[in-house]
Amino acid sequence: MHSKTPEDIDEVLFRREEILTKIEALAEQINRDYAGKELTMVGILKGSVLFFSELVLRIKLPVRMDFMSISSYGQSSKSSGVVRILKDLDNGVENQHVLIVEDIVDTGLTLKYIIESLETRKPASVKVCALLDKPSRRLADVAADYLGFTIPDAFAVGYGLDYSEQYRNLPDICSLKPCIYQET
Ligand code: PRP
């Protein structure tokens, strides 16, 4: 079991204050773009929970909230694009404007699967708001419509993001020292 101390952290990529400023700007953009409409915000568990919470508090539109949990069949097969729904939406989204809220788009395989799954449910529209984008690892041709930050190919943790279910509660987004995730 690796240590959970700050020594595991390589550097702080984005401090909480900077994250909140960015979320403020994203919310303003969303409020403008969807003015006069109702929004269904779909949070992808678990990494997006903190981002989702801060974002939805700043949305000034009528909002429905729903959540999905997606799992790849283990890290080794992630690049195969084989994923499964662990928890589906509680409600249908027919004729609704859906905004998927993700913490990070990495290979993009999870997002591609979610978009395709939601589009079969006849929504009025499907867009994506992601806090982080790691384009260097992209395998699927997907992109966020609303994006917080682009990051290099570092292992980002904190503000909801985990490594082995740890570090989600760090208030800043940090990169993990390679020796931590390369040791297993
Ligand atoms: C992470 C993240 C995205 C996905 C991105 O979820 O929250 O959903 O991976 O990776 P991809 O673009 O390569 O598909 P994870 O499966 O780690 O679950 P978690 O949100 O519970 O941490």
Q: What is the pTM of this model?
A: 0.94
Measured in angstroms, how far is the CA atom of residue 92 from the centroid of ligand 1? 23
Q: Which neighbouring-strand residues pair with 40?
A: 64, 98
Residues within a 6 A CB radius of ligand 1: 44-47, 72, 102-111, 162
- In tens, the pLDDT along 108-151 reads 999 999 999 999 999 999 999 999 999 999 999 999 999 999 99
Of 52, 67, 69, 27, residue with least CA distance to 159: 52
Q: Which neighbouring-strand residues pair with 45?
A: 69
- Please state the atom number of ligand 1 nearest to the C-alpha of residue 71: 16
Query: How would you class 15 by CB atoms within 10 Å of its CB: exposed for 0-12, middle for 13-18, buried for 19 or more?
Result: middle
Say if residue 76's pLDDT is above 90.
Answer: no
Say if residue 184's pLDDT is above 90.
Answer: no
Say if residue 61's pLDDT is above 80.
Answer: yes
Residue 2 confidence (pLDDT): 47
Measured in angstroms, how far is the CA atom of residue 78 from the centroid of ligand 1? 10
More confident residue, 18 or 183: 18
Ligand 1 pocket, mutate which of 82, 85, 104, 159 (most atoms under 8 A from CB): 104
- Please state the atom number of ligand 1 nearest to the C-alpha of residue 103: 7
Say if residue 80's pLDDT is above 70.
Answer: no
CA atoms within 13 A on the CB side of 1: 5
Measured in angstroms, how far is the CA atom of residue 94 from the centroid of ligand 1? 25
Measured in angstroms, how far is the CA atom of residue 7 from the centroid of ligand 1? 24
Catalytic residue list contains 8: no
Residue 83 confidence (pLDDT): 85
**Nearest residue (CA) to ligand 1, atom 2:** 104
Active-site residue, from 106, 133, 141, 162? 106
Say if residue 3's pLDDT is above 80.
Answer: no
- Please state the atom number of ligand 1 nearest to the C-alpha of residue 113: 14
